[in-house]
Every structure is written in structure tokens, then in C-alpha cells.
Amino acid sequence: MNNIYLDSAATTQIRQEVIDRMAEVMSVYGNPSSTHTFGRTAKSLIENARKTVAKYLNVAAKEIIFTSGGTEADNLILNSAVRDLKVERIITSKIEHKAVLQCVTQLQDCFDVEIEFVKLDEKGNIDLLHLEELLKDSDKKTLVSLMHVNNEVGNMLDIEKTGNLCKQYNALFHSDTVQSIGHFNLDLNELPVDFAAVSAHKFHGPKGVGFAYVKSNSGLRSLIFGGGQERGVRAGTESVHNIVGLEEAIKLTYDNLEEEKQHTSALKKHFIEQLQSELPGIKFNGECANFEKSTYTLVNVCLPISEEEATMLLFQLDLKGIACSKGSACQSGSDQGSHVLAEFLSEEDLKKPSIRFSFSRYNTKEELDYVVDVLKEFIQVNA
């Protein structure tokens, strides 16, 4: 078998319907900020997309701010929270996406913001009791930034309980939902979340577009200055075809969610069973083998061979036509290990290779069986 794509946590295959819809609107070339017919036509496409996104998340259209993706949305929220909302203290975890971790480090350096890290258990779960202790511990204006679904091991945060804790102690709550919007039904109007970040290419949409959910009357202001686009919260001429592509992707995703979730969950279950059966000694990192505590879209495994024996593993998998990931795609090209796994794996397991396989509607059980066979052969040769 050739060209088996198992890296959907990095980016998903764009749907053909999305490509077709984007191609349709690329002929709409007016600037959305222009008041003539060409501009108004482009503007109406953006506003219709905003309404569509808002409908699926049960929020007001004005609470959706289109961005270039999840990283920009995270940076917009965190920077403005400190600069404009006068947040003095940020509580986060050491297993967040680098879009959050590097941003809060910059805020600490530039604005002397106090940064607190909530503890993790042995599986990499957020310790909510410790979070409550931290929230009780200070009267400073606080923002909590914790991702809903971890992009490397798939652990799921109890987002409702976390948000309620924040509300109880008058803290703002920001969640990076890049790995969950498009995979779970989230009612952001009912959930106690003030801010969220989303990226279209994680649910079969185009790259280079996403949005920030910003609760009404939050006071958040622009990170990028210029024109008054996106209600003054995000300057710059909007990418109309990308925004319409995001709209099409989110419609198709949620209209087919239960069927596709069932398909992908069955793939993950089958893969776990085959790995356990054929590869004795394999370990599952974090909660990825627990369907109650992790997303159905990925598995992160620690293989029973040494790091030296596995030096060429990803290269060999690629030669066999298998695309997967050693860690977050945002760390590709780096020789550093996973900052996520480093926080809770044992020293012994950190020396062994860990690989993330992530699935989508386009994968099959036959593909996964092939992957298991390739891994089994590699381990037997290098054991």
C-alpha cells in the first residue's frame, strides 16, 4: 500500500467540496471594505460565513473574529488580555501548544506578567484541584489558558468544570480548541469559556484561516493595526476564499459529524487492538487509549525499542508510504524531543521512540493493518 496519511492532527486533507466552493468565489475579487457592488458582494460572503460558524457553535456572529489560524487567535487573545484587559497573572500548563507557551513567555518578559503552571498527573491530565488552589491563591486579575484537546497525546480537559472554576474565582478562561472544534459539538454559549482559538485546516478546510471566539463585551482589542476590518479586532483585508472555505468545511463537518466520528472511533479502536496484539511491550502515552478521557482522532505510542535502534524509523515509515509524526508538526525539523511527553513520561520511556498516528474520515482499517505489519517487521529486525 502507498501514501497512507496518518498525520491529521498536523493538518487534514481538504475536502473536494471545499476546494470547489473556494474556486467558485475566487472570481469575487472586490475588496470587502469597498462600498461598491464588488466590495459588497465580497463582504456578504464573509458575513454569511460568520453567521454559519456562529450557528454551529451557538454564539452571536459578532463573537467570531476571522484570523489566519489558531496561532494568531491565541496570540490575539493572550496579548490583548494583558495589554487591554489588564490581566496580571496567567495560569497555564507546560503541555500547551507552543503558540500559547511562547506567547506567555513573551508576555512575562515584556509586561512582567506572573505565570503559574498547573500540575499534571502521571498521565498528563490537568490537576483541577491544583488549579483551584492557584485560583484561590491570588487577588490579581487572572486568565487561565488550557487547551481542550492536547495535540500530541489527545488528553481531553473537562472544559466545563474548568470554566466553572474560573467563573467561581472571577478569572477569565481561554481555551485552545484547535483539536476539538470540528470533532466535537461544543456549545460555546453554554460553556463557561470567554475565548477560544480555532483553525480550519484541522477539520478538512484550508490552511491560513481560522477564528477567535471572543465573548461579547470582553473588551478585547486588535493585535494587528491598520484598517477597521473584523469589527476593529483584526486589521487587514480578509481572505474571502479562505473564509468561505472554512464555512464550507465547518458545515460539512458538523452535518456529518456523528457518522464520521463513528467511523474514526472504530479505526482508533481497531488500531489499538492490533497494536496490543501484535506488538508486545508497546505503551500508549497519556490517555490516548482511554476513549472516555481522550479524543477519538489520535493515538500516541511508545515503541519497545531504543532510540538508537529507531533512528531511521520515521524515514523507513515514509519510505513505506506511511505519514505520521514524532511530535507536533510545529516542531518538525527540530532535534528536540516532545515538550509534552517530557512532562510526564519516565526517563526510561523518554529514551524510546514515541510516534503519533492521527486519523480522519479518509482512513481505512486496511491501512492501519498495513502500518501494524510495517512496525512489527521493523521492531523484529531491530530488537
Residues of the chain with CATH 3.90.1150.10: 4-12+257-382
Q: What per-residue confidence (pLDDT) applies to 155?
A: 98
Q: What per-residue confidence (pLDDT) applies to 322?
A: 97
Q: What is the mean pLDDT of the chain?
A: 95
- Residue carrying C-alpha cell 487577588: 139
Instruction: Please state which of the four CATH numbers 3.90.1150.10, 3.40.1410.10, 3.40.50.1220, 3.40.50.720 is assigned to the domain occupying 4-12+257-382.
Output: 3.90.1150.10
- Residue carrying C-alpha cell 481542550: 148
- Residue carrying C-alpha cell 487509549: 289
- Residue carrying C-alpha cell 512575562: 108
Grid cell digits, residue 174: 481561554
Q: What's the CA gap between 182 and 299, in Å, rounded?
A: 18
Q: What per-residue confidence (pLDDT) applies to 328?
A: 46
Q: Which residues contact 56 (CB under 8 A, 6 or more apart)?
A: 250, 251, 254
Instruction: Please state which of the four CATH numbers 1.20.120.530, 3.30.365.10, 3.40.640.10, 1.10.10.60 is assigned to the domain occupying 16-255.
Output: 3.40.640.10
Residue 356, beta-bridge partner list: 300, 325
Residues 143-163: tens digit of each pLDDT: 999 999 999 999 999 999 999
* DSSP secondary structure code for residue 155 in this structure: B
Q: What per-residue confidence (pLDDT) applies to 335?
A: 57
Residues 63-95: tens digit of each pLDDT: 999 999 999 999 999 999 999 999 999 999 999
Grid cell digits, residue 38: 464588488
Q: What's the CA gap between 322 and 111, in Å, rounded?
A: 45
Residues 333-382: tens digit of each pLDDT: 455 789 999 999 999 999 999 999 999 999 999 999 999 999 999 998 87
Q: What per-residue confidence (pLDDT) applies to 337?
A: 84
Q: Which long-range contacts (CB under 8 A, 24 or more apart) does 53-59 make?
A: 53/211, 53/246, 53/247, 53/250, 56/250, 56/251, 56/254, 57/181, 57/186, 57/187, 57/188, 57/189, 57/213, 58/187, 58/188, 58/189, 58/190, 59/188, 59/189, 59/213
The residues carrying an active-site annotation are 330
Q: Is 1 exposed, middle or buried (0-12, 13-18, 19+ CB in 10 A)?
A: middle
- DSSP sequence for 230-264: GGGTS-S---HHHHHHHHHHHHHHHHTHHHHHHHH
Phi, psi angle pair for 203, to nearest 5° = -130, 50
Dihedral, CA of residue 129, residue 133, residue 134 and residue 137, to nearest 10: 170
Rg of the Cα trace of the chain? 21
Q: What per-residue confidence (pLDDT) applies to 306?
A: 85
Helix axes 70-83, 98-111, angle to 10 degrees: 20
Residues of the chain with CATH 3.40.640.10: 16-255
Q: What's the CA gap between 34 and 30, in Å, rounded?
A: 7
Phi, psi angle pair for 238, to nearest 5° = -70, 145
Residues 303-324: tens digit of each pLDDT: 999 878 888 888 899 999 999 9
Q: What per-residue confidence (pLDDT) applies to 312?
A: 84
